[in-house]
Amino acid sequence: MLNEAWKRRLIHIAHSGTGRDFNLKTKMEYPKTVLGHKIHPSKTMSYSFPWLHKIKGTVLQNEILAPYTSIQIGGPADVLIFPEDIRDLQTILKHIGSQPLFILGEGTNLLIGDRGIRGVVVSLKNCFKEIKRPLFFRKETGKRRAVIKAGAGVKMSYLAKNAARYSLTGIEQLVGIPGSLGGAIVMNAGAEGTETGQVLRSVTRITSDGEIQTLKREQLTFEYRKTIFPDGDGIIIEAELEMEEGDRTEIQNAMDRHLSRRSHTQPLTVPNSGSVFKNPDGYTAGRLIESAGLKGLSVGDAGVSIKHANFIVNKGGATAKDVNCLIENIQEEVKKKTGIDLQTEIVRAGE
Ligand SMILES: Cc1cc2nc3c(=O)[nH]c(=O)nc-3n(C[C@H](O)[C@H](O)[C@H](O)COP(=O)(O)OP(=O)(O)OC[C@H]3O[C@@H](n4cnc5c(N)ncnc54)[C@H](O)[C@@H]3O)c2cc1C
């Protein structure tokens, strides 16, 4: 159940509109109630996406994005589309023109602004979920390896468990990462010394021209929490991961260990967006924040987690403004006390 503070926030967002004038023929009225509370729209909204009826998947307008993020923060998207397949994605790219496009994975590394995202948000939550059976081959060394092809919408945790079923080692350390494969590729997500880029063999994406393109790993550059693609990210739809055969029990045990460590060290029961800051060379951001005495520091309902200082938690009704303000305070204090500039890891999107 949403608490009162959160309901008030939703109502505030619904009232404030998108802050933008649409030049449209079709007019749409705001809903009359939000979570049982009456609202009185200040202006009539209209939209400029006359091609939306061509989409086979689900299309939502002025949809609040907070529920689609792990930190439960974010205002409305002008349009939120859950495509059904590649053809839907190509339709979007064909018609979107100069409207902004944002791709949403599982929303676990995001901070979406309180006024939401203008243009089109595409969520791959309900599609590209297939994991193909691994194809095994033997290396010159005699070791057996395998390639797994998986859709970008597959959750990393599920993919890691699936690989373990076939005794494939290489991504068991990533089992606790709550995002999708697509998000893990873009972010080069990593844990326990393993990064997504290390096991990638190829990535298939749709470019902004709607072309389906498969890139080999040699065409990508993997950096700390970022993969660099030629000509921008595009929409990632599928990837091949290459892994080595290992001992199934050892892989299983390693996954159990990683999951148990996370549940002890991370605030998994409170909404958050994972690590907020990148670890500076030779330091961990969490320790720097903790040693600066900032554990528990709050702005509004956004607070530095007591369990892990590199996590900001939403204690109920936190806004993106609260989180941004807290981030600035942390950066200033850490800089003052240690001389180190903390860079953010989370992706900020929208207004
Ligand atoms: C409790 C918790 C623990 C976490 N632990 C870790 C950790 O150990 N290591 C780590 O690296 N991260 C961690 N994270 C952060 C996060 O889970 C990862 O960065 C994850 O890979 C993000 O995936 P996502 O699907 O949620 O992407 P989102 O947060 O939805 O998006 C992230 C970025 O990827 C882009 N994107 C997503 N999907 C696609 C696609 N298909 N095509 C093109 N662009 C796309 C988005 O536009 C955005 O720029 C943690 C988060 C939480 C909440």
257 is catalytic: no
The per-residue pLDDT of the chain, averaged, comes to 89
Mutate to test the pocket of ligand 1, among 71, 73, 126, 187 (most ligand atoms within 8 A of CB): 187
Q: 152 exposed, middle or buried (CB, 10 Å; 0-12, 13-18, 19+)? A: buried
Q: State mean pLDDT over 61-85.
A: 97
Residue bearing the CA closest to ligand 1, atom 12: 189
Q: Tell me: the pLDDT tens digits for 133-191?
A: 999 999 888 899 999 999 999 999 999 999 999 999 999 999 999 999 999 999 999 99
C-beta of residue 68 within 8 angstroms of C-beta of residue 32: no
Mutate to test the pocket of ligand 1, among 72, 86, 108, 238 (most ligand atoms within 8 A of CB): 108
C-beta of residue 247 within 8 angstroms of C-beta of residue 282: no
Residue 100's Cβ-side half-sphere holds a number of Cα atoms within 13 Å equal to 11
Confidence class for position 5, pLDDT limits 50, 70, 90: low
Q: Tell me: the pLDDT tens digits for 101-120?
A: 999 999 999 999 999 999 99
Residue 115: name the closest of 74, 82, 170 by CA.
Answer: 74
Distances (CA, A) of 87 to 84, 148, 208, 210: 8, 24, 14, 9
Q: State mean pLDDT over 32-58.
A: 63
Q: Tell me, what amino acid is at 107?
A: G
Overall pTM > 0.85: yes
225 is catalytic: yes
Helices (H), 2-142: 4-16, 86-95
In whole angstroms, what is the distance from residue 275 CA to residue 295 CA? 14
| Ligand 1 binding site (Cβ under 6 Å of any ligand atom) | 70, 102-110, 124, 152, 177-180, 182-184, 186-187, 189-191, 233, 235-236, 266, 268, 272-274, 347
275 is catalytic: yes
Q: Structural domains in the chain?
A: 4-123 (3.30.43.10), 135-254 (3.30.465.10), 267-349 (3.90.78.10)
Secondary structure letter of residue 66 according to DSSP: G
* 15 compared with 343, residue with greater pLDDT: 343
Which of 157, 225, 240, 305 is the catalytic position?
225
Rounded to the nearest angstrom, the distance between the alpha carbon of 107 and the centre of ligand 1 is 6
C-beta of residue 215 within 8 angstroms of C-beta of residue 105: no
Cα 286 → chain centroid: 21
